[in-house]
Amino acid sequence: MDCSKKTFINSYFQLFSFLVGFLLNFVLCHGQISEKERDYYLLFDDFIGVDNTNLYQGVLYVKEYRTINENTQFFRSDDFLSGSIDYNGQMYFDLDLKYDVYNDELLLKIIQKAGGGTIKLFKENIESFEIEGRVFEQIYAESLPTGFYEVLVKNAFFTLYAKRVKKKFERKDTFIFDEFLDGRSEYVLCYTNKYVLLKSKKSITGLFPEFKNDINEYYRKVNWRTKTDTDGFHIGLMKRIEIQLSNTKKPLVK
C-alpha cells in the first residue's frame, strides 16, 4: 500500500477512534445517547466494518430445543428483532438480535459478508441491550441471580426492573417437542445503591415507610392487577412513589 494512502487511512481511523472514545466517555457520564451520537457510532461501524469490531466474539449457536409453534424460549418472537447493544464498552446499533429468556443468553445474527450464521455472545461482555424498544441491563448483585433484567421505570430516585421467566414443557404428539410458556416475572428495585427483590407489599413499605399509608391505599384499590397485569401494577405503584419522593427528597441519581 502507498505510504500516503496508509497515513491517510490511519489518520481517519485515529479520528474515528477519538470520536468513539469521546462519545463513550460522554455516555458513561450522562447515561443517554442522542440521535447525533448514535449516527457517529454507526459511521464508525460503517468505516471499519462491524465484522472488524470487537462485537463478533462468541460461540456458534446450535439449536438446542425442538419447537413447532410460537411458544419458544425467545423474547417476543422466534424471529430476529432489531436492536442495539453495549458490548465491551462499545455501542452497536441496527443489529439482528434474539434474547433467549429461558437460558438468559443473547444471540446475534452475523452479516452475510462475515459468513452468516448465529453466535451466542459472551454474556460477561454485555452491559445492556435494547430489543424492539425494550431495554435490558445486566445486574451483578449478591442478593440476586446475575443476569439480564428489563428496565420498566428509571428516574432520578430509583430503577424498577423485571426479571423475565420462561418455563419449559415437554409435549408429546406424534413426536416429542418442547414448548415454552411465560412464567411469573420477578420485580427488583434499585434504590440507594441497593437491589431489593419486591416479594410483597411488606418489602415495599420497608423501603418507603414514610409512604406506607399511600402504598396500602394503592393495594386496596388495584390489588386485582397483581393477577392480570403485574407489570402495570408495579409501574403504577412506583410512579406514585416517584411523585411522593420528588416532593420530599433530592434526586439520588445525577
Rounding to the nearest 10 degrees, give the CA dihedral for residues 138, 112, 35, 97. Answer: -30
Domain limits at 15?
1-48
pLDDT digits (tens, 9 = 90+) for 90-146: 999 999 999 999 999 999 999 877 678 999 999 999 999 999 999 999 999 998 999
CA distance 109 to 117: 6
Those residues whose C-beta lies under 8 Å from the C-beta of residue 151, and which sit 6 or more positions away, are: 135, 136, 137, 159, 160, 161
Q: Based on the fold, state whether residues 165 and 56 are members of the same structural domain.
A: yes
Q: Quick one: cell of 133?
A: 424498544
Tell whether 40 and 77 lie within a shared domain. Answer: no
Quick: pLDDT tens for 164-201.
999 999 999 889 999 999 999 999 999 999 999 999 99
pLDDT in tens, 57-88: 889 999 999 999 999 999 999 999 999 999 99
Polymer length in residues for the chain: 254
* Number of domains composing the chain: 2
92 burial level (CB within 10 Å; 0-12, 13-18, 19+) = buried
Are residues 99 and 21 located together in one domain of the fold?
Answer: no
Tell whether 97 and 13 lie within a shared domain: no
In a shared domain, residues 29 and 139: no
Q: 232 and 128: one domain?
A: yes
Residue at 134 is within a domain:
yes
Residue whose entry in the numeric block shows the C-alpha cell 441496527: 94
Residue type, 176: I
Residues 20 and 146 in one domain: no
Can you give the pLDDT at residue 151? 99
